[in-house]
Amino acid sequence: MNKFSKALAVAMGMIAVSAGVVFAETTFTPLNFSDSTTVAPVSATSTSSSATAKGTDLLDPSQVTAGTKMQNSILQIDNAQVELRNKLLNYKNNFAEIDSRYNTTKAERKAAQKQIKYAEKKIKNLDNAKKKIRKNFQRNMNI
């Protein structure tokens, strides 16, 4: 009976939580939504004028405050941006070259370190062999 009451309590809690979510979904209205909005009819003249205005990226200098000076400054900014992008490409290429040299040097260093360890191991083995030979020679001399 105790397990049943726990299960029932969990189920009721889940229903309460999901009911809140369900009721929230149906009553939500965005702030800019209005039921009384009407759409104004579009005339043919306004469509053609808006199409020509959207077709050009730069405005006529007479429409812009400070006209040609404004456009010249925008062009200078664009040119500076292009120069910086070119420099960035050069920097990236330079970095790639340095990185490849770094990785090559790193691999060479690792190979050289292995050679050093191998040579040291060989020397140690030869030293051990000399010690064993001397030890055996001294035993033979003492007999």
Encode pLDDT of 28-40 as tens digits. Answer: 555 555 555 555 5
Q: Which two tokens stand for residue 10?
A: 């969990």
Encode pLDDT of 55-105 as tens digits. Answer: 556 666 566 556 788 888 999 999 999 999 999 999 999 999 999 999 999
Alpha carbon separation from 17 to 6, 11, 12, 21, 62 (Å, rounded) = 17, 10, 9, 7, 62
Rg (CA), the chain: 42
Rounded CA-CA distance 11/5 in Å is 10
Let me know: does 67 contact 61? Beta carbons within 8 Å: yes
* Close Cβ partners of 71 (under 8 Å, ≥ 6 residues apart): 58, 61, 64
Alpha carbon separation from 117 to 12, 55, 126 (Å, rounded) = 71, 71, 14
Instruction: Return the biggest CA–CA distance within the chain.
Output: 124
Q: How much is the pTM?
A: 0.40
Task: Please report, for the chain, the start and end positions of each structural domain, with discontinuous segments joined by +.
Answer: 74-143
